[in-house]
């Protein structure tokens, strides 16, 4: 068994109030702790991914805030207190300051994070 905390998980992306900490747990799964300030739109960083959307599935829980998830089929709003599944083909926008935890397949998540970092110039 493996476990981690927000503070123990290494920072993968940081800047402009956004913080994403990631730690591989259980072989092929990664846990991510995310903070997005109100107004954060990951759409511009997702440009260049297939359909300009994140193609990694995520299972998680929104602790704080409201998040709009855009997909090819429309938009959905997620609110604090909700557990979620985000299928491949999405991009988030924070409607309020948000904090959530998600669990994702490591390989697919690392591909997305690598793309986001390259878009950020890092």
The mean pLDDT of 101-118, rounded to a whole number, is: 95
Does the structure show a pLDDT above 60 at 1?
A: no
Structural domain contains residue 5: no
Closest among 101, 88, 113, 114 to 6, alpha carbons compared: 101
* DSSP designation for 16: T
- The share of the chain scoring above pLDDT 90, in percent, equals 91
Instruction: State the residue range of the domain holding 90.
Output: 11-119
The answer to the question of residue 80 being in a domain is yes
Q: For residue 100, tell me if it sits in a domain.
A: yes
Q: Is residue 3 part of a domain?
A: no
CATH number assigned to the domain comprising residue 98 = 2.60.120.10
Answer whether residue 50 shows pLDDT above 80: yes
In which band, very low, low, confident or very high, does the pLDDT at 27 lie, cut at 50, 70 and 90? confident
Angle at 43 between CA 97 and CA 114, to 5 degrees: 100
Containing H/E element for 24?
A: strand 18-25
Tens digit of each residue's pLDDT (9 = 90 or more) over 68-93: 999 999 999 999 999 999 999 999 99
How many Cβ atoms are within 10 Å of 3's Cβ, its own excluded? 9
Structural domains counted in the chain:
1
């Amino acid at each position: 068994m493996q476990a981690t905390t927000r503070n123990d998980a290494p920072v993968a992306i940081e800047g402009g109030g956004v913080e994403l900490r990631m730690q591989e747990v259980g072989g092929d799964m990664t846990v991510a702790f995310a903070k997005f300030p109100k107004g954060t739109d990951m759409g511009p960083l997702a440009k260049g991914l297939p359909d300009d959307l994140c193609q990694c599935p995520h299972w998680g829980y929104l602790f704080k805030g409201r998040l709009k998830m855009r997909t090819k089929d429309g938009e959905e709003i997620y609110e604090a207190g909700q557990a979620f599944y985000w299928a491949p083909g999405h991009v988030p926008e924070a409607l309020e300051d948000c904090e959530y935890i998600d669990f994702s397949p490591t390989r697919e998540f690392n591909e997305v994070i690598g793309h986001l970092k390259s878009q950020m110039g890092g």
